[in-house]
Amino acid sequence: MNIRLYNARILTMEEGKNVFFGEIRIKDEKIIYVGEEISDDASDIKWDQEIDCKGNLLMPGFKDAHTHSGMTLLRSYADDLPLSDWLNTQVFPVEAKMNAEDIYHLTQLAILEYLTSGITSIFDMYLTPESIADACDDMGMRCVQVGAVNNFSQSPELVEEMYLKLNNKSPLQSYILGFHAEYTCSKELLMKIAELSHKYQAPVFTHLAETESEAEGCRERYGMTPMAFLDSLGMFDYGGGGYHCVHMTQEDIHIMKEKGLYAISNPASNAKLASGIAPISDYLKAGVPVALGTDGPASNNCLDMFREMFLVTGLAKLREKDASAVDAMEVLKMATVNGAHAMGLHDADVLAEGKLADIIMIDLNQPNMQPINHIAKNVVYSGSKQNVKMTMIHGEILYMDGVFYTKIQPAEIYRKANEIIDKHR
């Protein structure tokens, strides 16, 4: 479709570029113009849709850089427990009963919530990669999956198969090498993933130093922190990063900087599971790029990037006892540009000619966004999901003014999700 979005405030997220009034023009899945409004006479394109944005804000969609979409089944099912109990007594037993079809439907439920939160790309780690890819394709969601191999499920062979298959499946799908965590993988298994990374010269992502007990356990097993141990295997010679990265030493942070790794913070999940507060200021001072993720809907429990943005700066200020720590503009960069780069989506990071049309509209005509002193800081400090007026992915409007424009309607998705939970209770 050819879509013109005009009379808009625009935040492109390009370095050094402030909010300005103008329009965005889209042809098929790409942006063909971002700038001041121009006369229709200047274009011979026939518009399928012209939308008056009425002064509202257009910006790049949020990138949820760590999630487990299929865990919608466990939302509010396994709460108020320590992480080890949460995983071993509640999550793993239910997951053992789930099949690919279940995860297909449960992923679609998560996608509806992503759309209401202005999330246009997800970095998903879960059990059945092909059904997850199908769910995302059928819903129009851009998805980067990451390998979840551990001692109990998946395998290096499956990770390699999915790496080759899903990177060629559709324009919305891609796949990155990965494993669940150091503490759920044998050394032999980890070495096989490192070998794959070297074979394809490809980055690797994993859960990393989420809890204090995880870090201590690795020291007991190998005499090193999880970061240092994985680096000793050559795991990150071609980049990648870690999810959570809460309990990291200065030496760990130095390794991350040296290897060009991303620290992907999940502040709501880490707070709810009492895992700790990640040293975000230390990462920024060291030049380690930080991205944001929601983690799964069983540990968060909602898929809300506004909450993650507020918490990542709020908790950093509290941790450092410094109200100037982690500026709001840096947070917006984490939620958009850095997330896109971590996920390998370099054509979906900012709003510019030739980039993918993954765009959201933020409703500024609501009390929490007034007065308009500093729009970008309003988004971080006072914004919420209620302000997401439109979510566009790949040039397709999938959510606008509270209505979903997905191929599969919400009522059917909710029905299937409740059938699945009844089956597995």
- Residue 394: which domain range? 2-60+347-404
Alpha helix positions (H), 47-145:
83-85, 92-95, 100-116, 129-139
167-197 burial, b at 16+ Cβ within 10 Å, e below that, comes to bebeebbbbbbbbbbbbbbeeebbebbbebb
3-state class of 142 per DSSP? strand
Grade residue 114 by pLDDT with cuts at 50, 70 and 90.
very high
Residues 217 and 265 in one domain: yes
Which pLDDT score, from 0 to 100, does residue 212 have? Answer: 96
Q: Which own/partner pairs from 78-84 qualify as long-range (CB within 8 Å, at least 24 positions apart)? A: 78/298, 79/272, 79/301, 82/273, 82/274, 83/210, 83/211, 83/273, 83/274, 83/275, 84/213
199 and 324 belong to one structural domain: yes
pLDDT at residue number 286: 98
Distance CA 348, CA 334 (A): 14
Residue 361 bridge partners (DSSP): 58, 390
pLDDT at 90: 81
One domain for residues 304 and 237: yes
Let me know whether 111 and 156 are in one domain: yes
pTM: 0.97
Structural tokens at position 191: 């070495």
Q: Does 214 fall in a domain?
A: yes
Q: How many domains in the chain?
A: 2
Residues 67 and 13 in one domain: no
The pLDDT of residue 89: 84
Whether the per-residue pLDDT at 383 is higher than 90: the answer is: yes
Average pLDDT over residues 195-207: 98
pLDDT value at 394 more than 90: yes
Note the pLDDT of residue 41: 56
325 & 253 share domain: yes
User: What is the pLDDT at residue 95?
Assistant: 84
